């Protein structure tokens, strides 16, 4: 080895040690930066401002304090201070980690490059030579073959374990024939069957909205003074004109005033409130206040039940769905209703859809919509615009034998829809303004009232515009203004608020009788067996024979005003007074 080589070696040594030192320094630097970054990362993991552990507890405490005392200036200041601190911390962390990463990258790169330089300068690794031996090659090949085989076996084994242990619920679904799978889903739809509905009172005026009781076991007389047949009486915290609905052992109704709107569930057995839920206030209306007519109030729309859920809507446009135990499934704002007296149409349900006749303003404003909300979620299942003005009638769902129809009455159109899809089936342009009475249906005919003017009987087997083709008959006379009609299929009974009751032949519209009852009525008549039950505004019960001969008895009296229609159950009547909820029935 000569001088040059020696020199070279020493200069190499020098560079190698320099590179090594550089790599150590930058390596240590990188480690420190990495440590900071990891610390930053871990604390940032809990550190989206709202999640931040240290502060969020304090923030939550402060916010709870604020809820108790919304005007406490000190607490407000503290919340603002914390908020600022949280956000500063968060963005500082972002900034820190961004810069830190570049520092780390630089440090690691320098360290690696110097290490590479050092190792490149260093001499190659040397090992004693081994002889070239074909036996080694053979041995290598044998070992490699075995190793490849073993690896293949390991991989296949792993896959086999994966295949045999992983649960496959879809594959097992394939094993069951599709028909039985269909049956399984069809046998348990997420809504009640018609048979169940008939045993309950799930909507305004009961099953189908017809005001007909399925039971004749209900009492025919009562007296609050003596307590006769009054099972219980419970005060209702908030006013409302909506009628009680009943499913199973639960009664549902709503109450509301200017400041709060509440959904109530009462026990049918005891009358105690099982649950209640205060509806959220709607968001801003862009400055426009919703106004309601004082006689209408905020809680006029009757709730609806599909057997699995109940639905409510208030005159401020807030709707909600609950399960029967009071768990709020969803709530939704449909927008401030533009209704001259306040929104009043009752809800109805079809399968698991909540149907809302959301009529607003004038027809030319194009603001009226028929919504079908998915009961489970409140999402819009379908919606159709309606060429009508605001109205206060409630829609009914009836089975015509050739399919179900959702019949709506508004100005100027009466429109029937397919309740599953919202497809328009037929319509008739017959109506004027200020509509309150809801339609009824029997034997292929829908009966619709133009207040103080006429009653129309429209055959429901039409298609498209049936104004000129399917009106079976019209009649006029003492036509009611608010109360809805009632029919037993043979006769139709009309009741005006001032107590004039008219009976017409349902098939022909022929006049049968007309009598005055000296009382005033806001509730719609109901049919129990062969008796028409009338609940007067003064708290009295009148029973009128549903026959071609007029016959009336006054057999009930309660100390309340009745503005809402009663619900008829097996052996019980639930009726809402202005202040109290009554359950009438024979005591055991």
Partner 1 sequence: MPNQDNALDRRDLIKKGLHGLALLVTGGVSGFLAERSQANSYHWQIDPSKCIACGNCATYCVLEESAVKCVNTYAMCGYCNLCTAFFEPAPKSLNTGAENQLCPTGAILRTFIEEPYYEYKIDESLCIACGKCVKGCKEFGNGSLYLQVRHDRCVNCNQCAIAVACPTQALTRVHRDQPYLLKGMDNKA
Partner 2 sequence: MTEFASVLQRVALIASDIQRFPPPDFESDYTMPLPATPAPRAPWLGGVDVIVLFAALSVGVYLVHKKRSRLSVFLLMVFSLIYFGFYRLGCVCAIGSIQNVSLAIANPSYAIPLTVVAFFLLPLVFTLFFGRVFCAGVCPLGAMQDLMLIKPISIPVWLQQALGLLAYLYLGAAVLFAAMGSAFIICEYDPFVAFFRLNGNPNIIILGVSLLIIGLFVGRPYCRFLCPYGVILHHFSRLSHWRVTITPQDCHQCQICEEACPFGAILPPTGEQNGQHWAPDKKRLIPALILTPILIAFCGWVFSMAGSSFSKMDYTVHLAERIVLEDTGQADGTTDASKAFRDSGQPGETLIQDAQNIMDRYVMAGWILGAFFGLVLSGKMIRLCLPDRRDDYEADRGDCLACARCFSYCPQELKRRRISRTAPVTAGSEAAVES
Q: Which residues bind partner 1 (CB under 8 A)?
A: 48-50, 63, 66, 70, 76, 79-80, 82-84, 86-87, 90-91, 94, 97-98, 280-287, 332-333
Q: Among 320, 567, 253, 199, which Cα is nearest to 575's?
A: 567
Question: Which of partner 2, partner 1, none does residue 518 bind (CB under 5 to 8 Å by kind)?
Answer: none
Q: Is 193 exposed, middle or buried (0-12, 13-18, 19+ CB in 10 A)?
A: exposed
Question: Which of partner 2, partner 1, none does residue 128 bind (CB under 5 to 8 Å by kind)?
Answer: partner 2
Question: Which of partner 1, partner 2, none does residue 61 bind (CB under 5 to 8 Å by kind)?
Answer: none
Q: Does 105 bind partner 2 (CB under 8 A)?
A: yes
- Vertex 41 angle, CA 39 and 43, to 5°: 70
How far apart CA 581 and CA 565 sit, in angstroms, is: 12
- 480 near 460, Cβ under 8 Å? no
Stretch of 152-160, 233-241, 269-277, 522-530 contacting partner 2, by CB under 8 A: 152-160
Q: Which of 67, 70, 125, 587 binds partner 2 (CB under 8 A)?
A: 125
Q: Among 154, 270, 161, which Cα is nearest to 581's?
A: 270
Question: Which of partner 1, partner 2, none does residue 76 bind (CB under 5 to 8 Å by kind)?
Answer: partner 1
Q: Does 9 bind partner 2 (CB under 8 A)?
A: yes
| 114 DSSP β-pair partners | none
Phi, psi of 113 (to 5 degrees): -65, -40
| Residue 107 vs 244, nearer CB to partner 2 | 107
Q: Which of 32, 148, 443, 559 binds partner 2 (CB under 8 A)?
A: 148
| Residue 65 vs 117, nearer CB to partner 2 | 117
Stretch of 102-110, 232-240, 499-507, 552-560 contacting partner 2, by CB under 8 A: 102-110
| Residue 78 vs 359, nearer CB to partner 1 | 78
Q: Is the peptide bond before 213 cis (omega within 30 degrees of 0)?
A: no
- 311 near 254, Cβ under 8 Å? no
Stretch of 85-93, 167-175, 395-403, 494-502 contacting partner 2, by CB under 8 A: 167-175
Q: Whole-number minimum distance, CB 408 to partner 1, in Å?
A: 26
Q: Does 14 bind partner 2 (CB under 8 A)?
A: no
Three-state SS sequence of 395-419: CEEEECCCCEEEEEECCCEEEEECC
- 279 near 338, Cβ under 8 Å? no
Window 268-307: residues binding partner 2 (CB under 8 A): 283-286
Can you read off the two tokens belonging to residue 318?
A: 């807030």
Stretch of 108-116, 422-430, 433-441, 464-472 contacting partner 2, by CB under 8 A: 108-116
Q: Is 217 exposed, middle or buried (0-12, 13-18, 19+ CB in 10 A)?
A: middle
| Residue 84 vs 161, nearer CB to partner 1 | 84
Q: Whole-number minimum distance, CB 248 to partner 1, in Å?
A: 31
Q: Is the dihedral of CA 529, 535, 539, 545 positive or negative?
A: negative
Q: Which of 50, 61, 182, 423 binds partner 2 (CB under 8 A)?
A: 182
| Residue 54 vs 148, nearer CB to partner 2 | 148
Window 345-384: residues binding partner 2 (CB under 8 A): 374, 376-377, 379-381
Q: Whole-number minimum distance, CB 57 to partner 2, in Å?
A: 25
| Residue 58 vs 199, nearer CB to partner 1 | 58
Q: Whole-number minimum distance, CB 87 to partner 1, in Å?
A: 6
How far apart CA 150 and CA 388 sit, in angstroms, is: 78
Q: Does 327 bind partner 2 (CB under 8 A)?
A: no
How far apart CA 307 and CA 351 sit, in angstroms, is: 9
Question: Which of partner 2, partner 1, none does residue 50 bind (CB under 5 to 8 Å by kind)?
Answer: partner 1
Q: Which of 128, 195, 225, 518 binds partner 2 (CB under 8 A)?
A: 128
How far apart CA 174 and CA 181 sit, in angstroms, is: 9
Q: Does 186 bind partner 2 (CB under 8 A)?
A: no
The DSSP code sequence of 505-570 is ETTT--EEEEEE-SS---SPPEEETTEEEEE-TTSEEEEEESSSS--EEEEEE-SS-B-S--EEET
């Amino acid at each position: 080895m000569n001088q040059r080589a020696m020199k070279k070696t020493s200069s190499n040594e020098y560079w190698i040690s320099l590179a090594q030192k550089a790599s150590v320094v930058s390596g240590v630097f990188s480690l420190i930066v990495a440590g900071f970054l990891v610390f930053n990362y871990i604390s940032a993991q809990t550190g989206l401002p709202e999640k931040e552990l240290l502060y969020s507890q304090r923030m939550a405490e402060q916010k709870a304090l604020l809820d108790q005392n919304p005007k406490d200036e000190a607490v407000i200041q503290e919340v603002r201070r914390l908020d600022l601190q949280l956000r500063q911390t968060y963005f500082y962390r972002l900034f820190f980690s961004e810069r830190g990463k570049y520092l780390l990258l630089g440090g690691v790169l320098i360290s690696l490059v110097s290490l590479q330089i050092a190792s490149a300068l260093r001499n190659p690794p040397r090992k004693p030579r081994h002889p070239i031996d074909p036996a080694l090659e053979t041995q290598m090949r044998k070992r490699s073959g075995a190793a490849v085989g073993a690896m293949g076996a390991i991989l296949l084994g792993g896959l086999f374990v994966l295949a045999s242990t992983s649960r496959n619920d879809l594959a097992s679904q394939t094993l069951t024939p599709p028909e039985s799978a269909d049956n399984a889903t069809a046998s348990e739809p997420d809504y009640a069957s018609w048979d169940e509905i008939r045993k309950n009172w799930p909507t305004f005026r009961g099953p189908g909205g017809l005001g007909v009781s399925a039971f004749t076991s209900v009492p025919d007389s009562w007296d609050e003074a003596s307590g006769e047949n009054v099972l219980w009486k419970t005060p209702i915290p908030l006013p409302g004109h909506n009628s009680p609905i009943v499913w199973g052992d639960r009664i549902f109704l709503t109450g509301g005033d200017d400041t709060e709107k509440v959904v109530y569930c009462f026990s049918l057995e005891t009358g105690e409130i099982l649950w209640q839920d205060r509806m959220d206030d709607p968001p801003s209306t862009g400055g426009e206040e919703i106004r309601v007519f004082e006689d209408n109030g905020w809680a006029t729309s009757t709730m609806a039940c599909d057997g699995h859920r109940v639905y409510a809507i208030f005159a401020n446009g807030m709707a909600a769905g609950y399960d029967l135990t009071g768990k709020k499934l969803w709530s939704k704002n449909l927008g401030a209703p533009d209704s001259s007296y306040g929104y009043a149409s009752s809800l109805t349900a079809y399968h698991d859809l909540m149907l809302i006749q959301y009529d607003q303003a004038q027809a030319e404003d194009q603001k009226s919509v028929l919504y079908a909300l998915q009961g489970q979620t409140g999402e819009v299942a379908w919606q159709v615009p309606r060429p009508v003005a605001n109205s206060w009638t409630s829609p009914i769902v009836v089975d015509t034998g050739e399919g179900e129809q959702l019949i709506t009455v508004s100005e100027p159109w009466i429109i029937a829809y397919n309740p599953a899809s919202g497809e328009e089936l037929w319509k008739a342009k017959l109506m004027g303004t200020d509509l309150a009475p809801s339609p009824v249906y029997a034997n292929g005919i829908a009966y619709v009232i133009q207040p103080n003017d006429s009653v129309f009987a429209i055959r429901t087997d039409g298609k498209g515009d049936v104004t000129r083709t399917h009106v079976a008959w019209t009649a006029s006379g003492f036509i009611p203004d608010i109360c809805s009609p009632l029919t037993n299929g043979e006769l139709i009974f009309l009741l005006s608020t001032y107590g004039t009751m008219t009976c017409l032949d349902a098939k022909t519209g022929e006049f049968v009788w007309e009598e005055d009852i000296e009382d005033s009525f806001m509730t719609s008549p109901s049919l129990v067996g062969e008796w028409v039950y009338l609940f007067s505004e003064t708290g009295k019960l009148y029973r009128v024979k549903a026959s071609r001969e007029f016959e009336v008895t006054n057999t009930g009296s309660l100390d309340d005003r009745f503005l809402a229609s009663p619900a008829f159950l097996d052996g019980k009547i639930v009726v809402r007074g202005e202040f109290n909820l009554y359950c009438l029935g024979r005591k055991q």
